[in-house]
Chain A
Amino acid sequence: MPALERLAARYRVIAPDLLGFGESDRPDWLDTTTDYVYHLLDLWDALDLGQAHLVGVSLGGWIAAEFATVASHRLRSLTLVDALGLEVSSAPILDLFALSFEEQVRAMFFHPAQAEPYLQPLDREGQLRRLKGQVTAARVGWNPLLVNPKLRLRLHHIGVPTLVIWGAQDRVAPVEVAEAWHSAIAQARVAILPECGHLPPIEQPEGFCGAVEEFLATV
């Protein structure tokens, strides 16, 4: 992914396939984002990361926020990108599970052409990998729908500088959710990217990397 390559030119970037996605299997015990937090703590220790910057996108943003509420001391900063997980009653998360795969992909982007590469036919292995990810997302996010209603009560435990990056036209998690993160986390600032949907690192890699680099330079 070009955004990761650009960041990797200046930083040591670790981008794990989270449990149940990509090349990682889904253990039977995995059913909440809390399980990801404990797994991430293990990964942190295994890689001896000490204090590091944490960036999470979408479901990864939810997990990053949960992690930061219990392990803020392990962080130098937190970046939440179109993060799920925070319940905002006036701006509910889109019910992605009620959409076809094609509708889900199209809902991710502001520019329709951006969706096309993800709609190409996959071989059997690719389809099974995709199914695995869909099942994992359902396992942790079916109900409550991609939020943890208690998370807001815990956000005051985040004690590091936090950047909230959001696609202005995110149809999955409306931009109002960015404002909710901003107001609930003490040291937070916001960067809204124009002409951008739910996945800024893919749709606006320049704007995304620029915002991250500028933020990290101040931390």
Chain B
Amino acid sequence: MQFYFFHLMPWPTLPDDFDQRHAAWVDLSNRYFDPVAGHALYNRYLDELEYAIQLGFDGVCVNEHHQNAYGLMPAPNIMAAALSRRLTRGKIALVGNAISLRDNPLRVAEEVAMLDVITGGRIISAFVRGIGAEYHSMSLNPTYSRERFDEAHDLIIRAWTEPGPFRFEGKHYRFRYVNPWPRPFQSPHPPIWIPSQGSAETIEWAAAKRYPFILVYSSLATIKARMDGYRAACERLGYRPDPEQLGWMCPVYLADSEAKAHEAARQHILWLFHKGLKMPQHYFFPPGYLTETSQFLVGTRRHFSEYTYEDFVKEGWVLVGDPKSVRDQLKQHLRQLGAGLFLALLQIGTMSHWETVRNLELFAQEVIPAVKSQD
């Protein structure tokens, strides 16, 4: 069982009239970003990631999102670089590089290999497609999202594993000399994770590659169904997946008592789902980002704005409570899910530094050892 601290680095100061606006993405003006406050915030957030390793987390996660207030990490590899010389132990998980958004995925192969060599092999390299809104933000054709992901993935893995130079002739990417220096420290390459909301196509693909599959932002029932789907896909392929091939990313809020935890967590959880993730459906799912059949299905799905705080708690989108309750819930859920990776979002929305530190400490001291000891 491994525990990671997942940070989004949100921009908490939204305009007063934000509730009248339609999105925290794409067209929320960047004049609401204050560079002076941003300087303090980046350094605070990096301190929190470093502190998590001191507290005994197995690793920390950084990620990639563009042109939004939800998360200030357009370049996860820069965040990982900032951490790489400060952290002498623990993994740094890039969750993940949005490889479809890159016009030159060889740059990802190079940057991740650099990080892996600098850290002596402590990099985990997740790959994602980027969310729908990013195809608007980057004016990138969403109908090519999956093709570009598949091709960029193949290019990066080959670049890491086949001696160069060699030619790569794809539809979207063509290189006459694939020959990146440096090569990664880990052999054959850093572990690949696949974070997903769990489309059937992604489940089959990740199972075939034996890549750990990380479920994000779903109810427990959905997460269970997707993980069961992944296990079934593995079994069809003739193997039984290791529990550490299944990961769950979940917002967690701890306080000394149940009542205090819920009282304090409510505003941050609602900030995350109702503000940070606020966008119209056609931003989330531009045409061609999903297959037409999947797109038809999401058309019937409830929007985050329709969920109350109580819904998020009851359906297991979040874990909130005192240490004993969170510990018991987590043990029970992980057992039911058969998952061996837990990515805890312990800074949520508008949480202050001290609130985050307290949350990290309670989780590291009261939850991780107890859950690990039952392994």
Residues of A at the B interface (CB closer than 8 Å) are 97-101, 124, 127-128, 131-132, 134-135, 137-139, 142-143, 145
> Contact: B281 with A138, CB < 8 Å?
no
**Inter-subunit contact A100/B282 (CB<8 Å):** yes
Residue pair B139, A143 in contact (C-beta under 8 Å): yes
Q: If the complex has contacts A131-B292, A131-B295, A132-B292, are A138 and B282 also in contact, measured as CB distance less than 8 A?
A: no
Majority SS of interface residues in chain A?
Answer: helix
Cα distance, A212 to B292, chains bound together (Å): 37
Bound CA span A145–B135, Å: 13
Determine the residue in chain A with the shortest Cβ distance to B283: A98
Residues of B close to A97: CB separation below 8 A: 136, 282, 286-287
Which residues of B have CB within 8 Å of A137? 287
* Bound complex: CA A137 to CA B287 (Å): 9
Q: Do A100 and B287 touch (CB < 8 A)?
A: no
Question: How many positions in chain B have a CB within 8 Å of any CB in the partner chain?
Answer: 21
With A132-B292, A135-B143 given, name 14 new contacts (CB 8 A). A97-B136, A97-B287, A99-B282, A100-B282, A131-B287, A131-B292, A135-B287, A135-B288, A135-B292, A138-B288, A142-B135, A142-B139, A142-B142, A142-B143
Closest to B22 in A: A100
Residue B296 interfacial (CB < 8 Å): yes
Q: Are B143 and A143 in contact (CB under 8 A)?
A: no
Residue in chain A with minimal CB distance to B26: A98
Of listed B282, B283, B295, residue having the most chain A CB within 10 A: B282
Q: How far is the CB of B349 from chain A (nearest CB, A)?
A: 26
Residues of chain A lying within 8 A (CB to CB) of residue B142: 138, 142
* Residue contact B292 to A142, C-beta cutoff 8 Å: no
A-B contact pairs, 21 of them (CB 8 A): A97-B282, A98-B136, A128-B293, A131-B287, A131-B292, A131-B295, A131-B296, A134-B287, A135-B143, A135-B287, A137-B287, A138-B142, A138-B287, A138-B288, A139-B141, A142-B139, A142-B140, A142-B142, A142-B143, A143-B141, A145-B139
CB within 8 Å for A124 and B296 given contacts A98-B282, A100-B282, A138-B288: yes
Determine the distance from Cα of A35 to Cα of B143 in the docked complex, in whole angstroms. 16
Given the complex of chains A and B, what is the CA–CA distance between A134 and B135 in angstroms? Answer: 15
Determine if B369 is an interface residue (Cβ-Cβ < 8 Å).
no
B280 interface hit (Cβ, 8 Å): yes
**Contact indicator A128/B296 (Cβ below 8 Å):** yes
Closest chain A residue to B299, Cβ basis: A127
Q: Which residue of B lies closest to A129 (CB)?
A: B292
CA distance A126 to B59 in the complex (A): 48
The answer for the CA separation of A64 and B140 in the assembled complex, in Å, is 26
Measured between C-beta atoms, what is the minimum distance from B30 to chain A in Å? 17
| Complex-state Cα separation, A156 to B128, whole angstroms | 45
Contacts of B26 in A (CB 8 A): 98
CA distance A135 to B141 in the complex (A): 10
Beta-carbon contacts under 8 Å, B144-165 to A = none
Q: State A73–B303 Cα separation when bound (angstroms).
A: 53
**Which of B136, B286, B287 has most chain A Cβ within 10 Å?**
B287
Complex Cα distance, B140 from A197, in Å, reads: 28
- Nearest CB on B from A140, distance (A): 9
Q: How many Å lie between the Cα of A62 and that of B68 in the bound state?
A: 34
Which among A100, A127, A128 is the interface contact of B280 at CB below 8 angstroms?
A100
Name which residue of chain A comes closest to B27, CB basis. A98
> Hey, which chain B residues are within 8 Å of A139, CB to CB?
141, 143, 288
Question: Which 3 A-B pairs rank lowest in CB-CB distance, beginning with the nearest?
Answer: A138-B287, A142-B141, A134-B287
Inside 8 A of A138's CB, which chain B residues have their CB? 141-143, 286-288
* Smallest CB separation, B140 vs chain A (Å): 7
Chain B residues, CB < 8 A from A99: 282
Chain B residues with Cβ below 8 Å from A132 are 292
Q: Which residues of B contact A101 (CB under 8 A)?
A: 282
Cα separation A154 to B149 with both chains bound (whole Å): 35
Determine the chain A residues whose CB is within 8 A of the CB of B287 once the complex forms: 97, 131, 134-135, 137-138
Q: How far is the CA of A122 from the CA of B292 in the complex (A)?
A: 15
A145→B286 CA distance, assembly (Å): 14
**Interface readout for B258-300 with A: 1 if CB under 8 Å, 0 if not?**
0000000000000000000000111100111000110110010
Set of chain A residues within 8 Å of B282, measured between Cβ atoms: 97-101
Please give, as numbers and ranges, the residues of chain B lying within 8 Å of A134 by CB-CB distance.
287
Give the CA-CA distance A135 to B26 in the complex, in Å: 20
Q: What's the least CB distance linking B146 to chain A, in Å?
A: 12
Q: Please name the residue on chain A nearest to B295 by beta carbon.
A: A131
Residues of chain B with a CB closer than 8 A to A135's CB = 143, 287-288, 292
For the complex, what is the distance from the CA of A137 to the CA of B141, rounded to whole Å?
Answer: 11
Chain A residues closer than 8 Å to B139, beta-carbon distance: 142-143, 145
* CA of A13 to CA of B340, assembled, Å: 64
Q: Which positions 31-78 of chain B face chain A at CB distance < 8 Å?
A: none
Chain B residue nearest to A143 in the complex (CB) = B139
- Within the complex, what minimum Cβ distance (angstroms) separates B290 from chain A? 9
Q: Residues of A contacting B295 with CB < 8 Å? A: 131
A139 CB to nearest B CB, Å: 4
The interface residues of chain A lying within 8 Å CB-to-CB of B141 are 138-139, 142-143
Docked Cα-Cα span, A139 to B141, in Å, equals 7
Q: For residue A127, which residues in chain B have a CB less than 8 angstroms away from its CB?
A: 296, 299
Once bound together, how far apart are the Cα atoms of A138 and B141, in whole Å?
A: 7
Looking at the assembled complex, report how far the CB atom of A124 sits from the nearest CB atom of chain B, in whole angstroms: 7
For A134, give the chain B residue with the smallest CB separation.
B287
